[in-house]
A and B are shown apart, each in its own frame.
Chain A
Amino acid sequence: MGVIKISNLYKIYDESKIPVKAVNGIDLTICQGEFTAIVGPSGSGKTTFLNMVGGLDKPTKGEIKIDNIDIGDLPPRKLIDYRLNNIGFVFQAYNLIPVLTALENVAFIMQLQRKGKKERNKIARELLETVGIGDKLDRRPGDLSGGQQQRVSVARALASKPKFILADEPTANLDSKSTNELLDLMLKMNKELDTTFIFSTHDQRVMDKARRIITIDDGKVTSDVRKNGSK
């Protein structure tokens, strides 16, 4: 349950002109409950890699199997459904719908999943309380700080009960205090709910919190370190 198996993964842009091998042969397995950081210099292929794992982008070659389903094989319509029900996303910015309140933003994804109104509001409220926004349910994203917005995003990502959460540089726009708080929150969720987190970062302090650090350079994995005590 929740095993992501990536084999022989390539993403080559501009094949006709000068090809850019953004992801250049990656083999990886990420297990249920891992708290993994993808690190590497700018342009090394982190975003490209995460987008493919999240089914937002098609690999040029190779496969991504999530619990033995090759998501590259899913037709576009199915893929959207698959993302909705199995993958949580936290982006660097523009995570939330600006015209909806924090509560509505979290409830919205459950509405896409066709959950009942009562249930989705209850879950959204609980989640927002867990992430520490319980007193700001009716605020719109514009009236929340960057850190608070990202916490709502995490709550939103969790709300669909996904197999794993992908976060591409979730702390890039945050100050160090908010960065710390967000990471602690993600770690707490990881522990409490056993949700898998895969996030990319430049930030040394973020890496320090990760249980597994995968370093990518020029589209290739150059190191893959699990810390003591992690699975």
Chain B
Amino acid sequence: MIWSIAWRNIWRNKIRSLAIIIAVTIGLFGGIIYDAFAVGMMQQRVNAAISNEISNIQIHNPSYLLNEEVKFVIKNQDNIITGIKEIEGVKSVSSRIKVLAMASTAETGAGIMLNGINPENEKQVTKLSEQLVEGDYINAQDRIPIVIGQKLAKKLNARLRSKIVITAANAEGIISYGAFRVTGIYHTENNMFDEINVFVRKSDLSGMLGMNQNDVNEIAITLFDHDQSIPITNILKNKYAGQIKREELTIRPWTEITPSLNAMIEMMDSFSYIFMIIILIALAFGIVNTMLMVVIERIKELGMLKAIGMTSQRIFQMIMLETVFLSIIGGMVGLFLCTIMIKYYGYYGLNLESLKEGYNSMGFSSIVYPHVNLTFYLGTTILVIVTAIIASIYPARKALKLNPAVAIRENN
């Protein structure tokens, strides 16, 4: 009957109970929604970075990483590419020449990262071919085509079919020139990427720089499953242990390629937890306060219960149960609202159009799809309920210490 008394007790003061329920609901809702959008945003950023920019795994000549010069090519690249393709979980492989260069139009110039790609292979590895806003992806019949980002196009005041002169140092360190014609302009959600990266045909670039047909600086690998990035890196490291030892190769998963992105994910996670802790502390104070009011208000009744033979422990249990009921109701409502909200925005996305500039300049998409981390979801729910229970210990202890003779005297 304690259960039913506790249950009915919470409806005695509906407004007050509702206040606790709403506090729990909002706390849970706020925490989860914040996390869902933060995680969603990061995940989109990671997915975009992997599929547009860096791929899951990259292979370089270690010297290239120290000094981004074209002469540091990957030895035996053909064998390695064939070997990589044999590994299970590998979706596609692309090899590139990468060189820091200068791009100039008649009016102005800018520092860029020049990517010499095999258009067909690249299509499978990055989404460049799908990001074009003007013109076309590099075609076989184009003569000296170049694809640039929208941001760079603006900077250089270049349009489709504009001529761009590229200046770069070749393997001997001698400055070489090449003229290219803009055939496509792309736009990703990362403005920084768009401003820097420029794509040309690998064969055109190797010709310009006087390299061997097969020389490359970078091998990029995409996987079917992003979570496999590190395990497959390890497989590759085993497979090419010899070359790594001879300092011919370095193999890095995306987490190592952009440590800042990884750090950002970790930072977002700690923000979620800090945010959650603040919510929980506020919630705990609210509950302590309210339940204390409940106990004080019912002091005579509790005194009577103790007088007629209800043990302190049972009275304690009863108060705790009331809090548990309230927090479970609040928790359920909160979870329900979260689910609806996340389902809705998971489908339509939250469009932060007004913040687009700022978001894109940091590499984030302005349409955010929330993502729920199931452990966080359940963990938070349990944490909210546990907080409610812990917060009710102090008020319930007041009931425990109650002296029935004194409590009943307050009758008079």
List residues of A whose CB falls within 8 A of some B CB. Answer: 47, 51, 54, 56-57, 77, 80-81, 83-85, 89, 91-95, 97-100, 104, 107-109, 111-113, 156, 160
Contact = CB atoms under 8 A, between A and B. Distances in A.
B8 A99 contact: yes
A56 B303 CA distance: 10
A112 B309 contact: yes
B5 interface: yes
Interface string B289-310: 0000000000011011111111
Shortest beta-carbon contacts, A-B, top 7 = A84-B309, A99-B8, A57-B405, A56-B405, A94-B300, A51-B405, A56-B404
A77 B311 CA distance: 7
B141 interface: no
Contacts of A92: 411-412
Given A80-B311, A112-B309, A112-B310, A100 B5 contact: yes
Contacts of A108: 1
A220 B311 CA distance: 33
A93 B309 CA distance: 17
Contacts of A97: 5, 301, 305
B409 interface: yes
Given A91-B411, A94-B301, A98-B301, A109 B309 contact: yes
A22 B42 CA distance: 73
Given A91-B307, A112-B310, 7 more contacts: A57-B403, A81-B309, A89-B308, A93-B300, A94-B301, A94-B408, A111-B1
B1 to A, nearest CB: 5
B154 to A, nearest CB: 71
6 contacts: A51-B408, A56-B405, A81-B309, A99-B9, A109-B308, A112-B308
B309 A80 contact: yes
Nearest to A85: B309
A94 B1 contact: no
B246 interface: no
B245 interface: no
B301 A83 contact: no
A77 B312 CA distance: 9
B304 A95 contact: yes
B311 A89 contact: no
B311 to A, nearest CB: 5
B12 interface: yes
Interface string B7-44: 01101100000000000000000000000000000000
Contacts of B300: 93-94
Contacts of B411: 91-94
Contacts of B305: 97
Contact of B1 (A95, A104, A113): A104
A56 B310 CA distance: 13
Nearest to B300: A94
B307 A89 contact: yes
Contact of B307 (A47, A56, A81, A100): A56
> Which among A83, A85, A94, A107 has the greatest number of chain B C-beta atoms within 10 A?
A94
Contacts of B310: 80, 84, 112
Given A91-B411, A94-B300, A94-B411, A99 B12 contact: yes
Contacts of A57: 403, 405
A72 to B, nearest CB: 14
> Which among A80, A107, A109, A113 has the greatest number of chain B C-beta atoms within 10 A?
A80
